[in-house]
Amino acid sequence: MKVRVLVRLKPGIMDVQGAAVKRALAGLGFSEIAELRIGKVIELELDETTPDARARVREMCGQLLANPILEDFTIETVTDLAPREVAR
């Protein structure tokens, strides 16, 4: 079973990395960006037998994957983690 976790800074928290990338893109001529924020994506492949996988992943986030002070996380179940429209 494939699960995707998105970990992002909470809305009120200054995203220094995102601000730097936004400015760098503006310097390259991409001035249409109103906002840019950077987070982590963690893609997990769980054993098929895992009962209540989503709850288990939520526990993992609480214990290790996300910092509850600064970050929010979202858990998505994906049918196939290999992206359909991929650029290599």
Nearest-angstrom CA–CA distance, 86 and 83: 6
Write the CA distances from 9 to 1, 17, 39, 58, integer angstroms: 26, 11, 7, 17
Give the shortest CB-27-to-a copy of itself separation in angstroms: 9
Residues that bind a copy of itself (CB under 8 A): 6, 8, 10, 18, 21, 24-25, 28, 30, 32-47, 49-50, 53, 56, 58-66, 68, 72-75, 83-88
Which helix or strand (DSSP H or E) is residue 71 part of?
strand 71-77
Say if residues 26 and 80 touch (Cβ distance below 8 Å).
no
Give the shortest CB-37-to-a copy of itself separation in angstroms: 5
Give the shortest CB-1-to-a copy of itself separation in angstroms: 9
